[in-house]
């Protein structure tokens, strides 16, 4: 209990500074800060009561952030260019916003040619290459692939749609391995094609999120084909399949950043472990996992951890009837292994509870999310307020 209060107090300080003070203490920023604090406190105390029961607050946050981000981003585009379409001027002057999905595509050509192949600013902008690379680096060593389930402003769309239907219409569990192989196969294709073409091939042809951000205007047959592709991919992989499968299909089959984050996740501080002694093999975790990171083989072969694509969303923690899945520190703090978070006998001290990997991971991920979302969400909330006021005024 004390650990929850300490963490909530620390989060309050972080949210106050990054959300309220950094946004001139506006009313909207206070409202958003209150929303964040509500989510964090509810999540922390729910997790304290029953581990895995706080995931609903993560889902709410990510879905709201995805919608808010797109609203703020599109309004920015309209203010700057008058449309969502990429203009010749923006393209030639390298003014396109750079997003994290483009990172794996630019890294290899950057190493070979010493050039950034994406037409974006290098510094001096929130969506510049340097700032996104810095965010990616911090993310890699802290939450790792947890980015996808906590912070990614696109993933929230799938998160939302995957919880629309009550029943799972298509079961992907027997195809998890093939899905992962396709994901990495597609990732390597994107890397090689980007290197060959010296262009961000995924952004040019396969990104489904162009529908909710910016896109090349359909002025020729290739751009028309690209438009058909991104609309089709958005409808198929971000809307229809998540509803039918209750999985994040785009994140676990197409997104190159997801595959890249899976490969670099071993450098992060946190991981997930499956206690093979406790596990009864009921497969509830494998069925629930939205990232297809737990297979029948993972459980049968007693691997002791989910597969490489685990995004540490915590969905499996809550559904496990044996409480066999938990967060862990990837690096042992001392020779005998860290006792932090171990459910040993006897009463846990407040400090031990505070240093529990699950608490610390959620704290790190939520801090990251709060900082990343504040600017966009406050802009989106301002837009909603203006819209509501204008409707009220018109009446």
**Interaction of residue 205 with other proteins, rule CB under 8 A:** yes
- Selected from 9, 138, 185, 332, the binder of other proteins by CB under 8 A is 185
Cβ neighbours around 344 below 10 Å, total? 8
Task: Find the part of the chain contacting other proteins (CB under 8 A) among 20-28, 120-128, 221-229, 294-302.
Answer: 221-229
- Selected from 193, 231, 282, 338, the binder of other proteins by CB under 8 A is 193
d(CA 2, CA 349): 9
* Of residues 164 and 228, the one with the C-beta less far from other proteins: 228
**Interaction of residue 184 with other proteins, rule CB under 8 A:** yes
d(CA 185, CA 115): 25
**Interaction of residue 222 with other proteins, rule CB under 8 A:** yes
Q: Would you say 290 and 255 are in contact if contact means Cβ atoms under 8 Å apart?
A: no
d(CA 219, CA 225): 10
Run of H or E including 112 = helix 103-113
d(CA 229, CA 226): 5
**Interaction of residue 281 with other proteins, rule CB under 8 A:** no
**Interaction of residue 228 with other proteins, rule CB under 8 A:** no
- Selected from 91, 165, 196, 228, the binder of other proteins by CB under 8 A is 196
Q: Would you say 160 and 73 are in contact if contact means Cβ atoms under 8 Å apart?
A: no
What is the chain's length?
395
**Interaction of residue 350 with other proteins, rule CB under 8 A:** no
Q: Would you say 6 and 350 are in contact if contact means Cβ atoms under 8 Å apart?
A: yes
Minimum Å gap between C-beta 183 and other proteins is 9
* Of residues 165 and 196, the one with the C-beta less far from other proteins: 196
User: What b-and-e string marks burial along 118-156, b requiring 16 or more CB atoms within 10 Å of the CB?
Assistant: bbbbeeeeebbbebbbebbeebbebbbbbbbbbbbbbbb
**Interaction of residue 192 with other proteins, rule CB under 8 A:** yes
* Of residues 196 and 388, the one with the C-beta less far from other proteins: 196
Residue 393, φ and ψ in degrees, nearest 5: -65, -40
d(CA 338, CA 66): 36
d(CA 312, CA 271): 7
Site string for other proteins, 100-119 (x = CB under 8 A): ------------xx------
Task: Find the part of the chain contacting other proteins (CB under 8 A) among 25-33, 151-159, 187-195, 210-218.
Answer: 187-195
Minimum Å gap between C-beta 199 and other proteins is 11
As beta bridge partners, residue 215 has 85
* Of residues 13 and 221, the one with the C-beta less far from other proteins: 221
Size of interface with other proteins, in residues (CB under 8 A) = 20
Which two tokens mark 156? 């929230």
Residues that bind other proteins (CB under 8 A): 112-113, 181-182, 184-186, 188-189, 192-193, 195-198, 201, 205, 221-222, 225
């Amino acid at each position: 209990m004390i650990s929850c209060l300490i963490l909530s107090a620390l989060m309050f300080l972080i949210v106050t500074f990054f959300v309220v003070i950094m946004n001139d203490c506006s009313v909207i920023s206070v409202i958003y800060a209150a929303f964040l604090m509500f989510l964090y406190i509810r999540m922390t105390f729910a997790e304290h009561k029953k581990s895995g029961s706080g995931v609903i607050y993560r889902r709410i946050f990510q879905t709201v952030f995805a919608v808010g981000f797109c609203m703020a981003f599109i309004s920015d585009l309209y203010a700057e260019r008058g449309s969502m379409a990429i203009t010749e001027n923006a393209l030639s002057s390298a003014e396109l916003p750079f997003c994290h999905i483009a990172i794996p595509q630019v890294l290899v050509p950057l190493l070979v040619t010493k050039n950034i192949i994406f037409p974006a600013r290098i510094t001096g902008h929130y969506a510049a290459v340097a700032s996104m690379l810095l965010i990616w680096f911090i993310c890699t060593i802290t939450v790792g692939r947890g980015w996808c389930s906590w912070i990614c402003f696109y993933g929230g769309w799938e998160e939302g749609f995957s919880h629309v239907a009550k029943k799972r219409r298509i079961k992907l569990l027997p195809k998890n391995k093939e899905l992962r192989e396709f994901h990495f196969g597609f990732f390597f294709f994107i890397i090689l094609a980007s290197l060959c073409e010296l262009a961000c091939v995924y952004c040019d042809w396969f990104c489904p999120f162009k529908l909710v951000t910016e896109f090349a205007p359909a002025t020729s047959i290739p751009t028309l084909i690209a438009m058909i592709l991104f609309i089709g991919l958005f409808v198929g992989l971000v809307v229809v399949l998540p509803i039918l499968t209750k999985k994040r299909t785009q994140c676990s089959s197409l997104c190159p950043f997801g595959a890249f984050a899976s490969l670099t996740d071993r450098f992060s501080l946190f991981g997930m472990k499956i206690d093979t002694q406790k596990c009864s093999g009921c497969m509830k975790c494998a069925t629930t996992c939205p990232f297809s990171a737990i297979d029948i083989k993972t459980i049968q072969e007693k691997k002791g951890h989910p597969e490489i694509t685990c995004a540490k969303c915590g969905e499996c923690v809550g559904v496990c009837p044996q409480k066999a899945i938990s967060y862990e520190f990837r690096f042992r703090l001392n020779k005998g292994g860290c006792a932090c978070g171990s459910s040993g006998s006897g009463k846990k001290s407040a400090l031990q509870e505070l240093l529990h990997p699950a608490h610390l991971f959620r704290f790190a991920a939520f801090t990251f999310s709060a900082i990343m979302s504040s600017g966009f969400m406050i802009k989106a909330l301002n837009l909603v307020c203006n819209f509501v006021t204008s409707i009220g005024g018109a009446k």
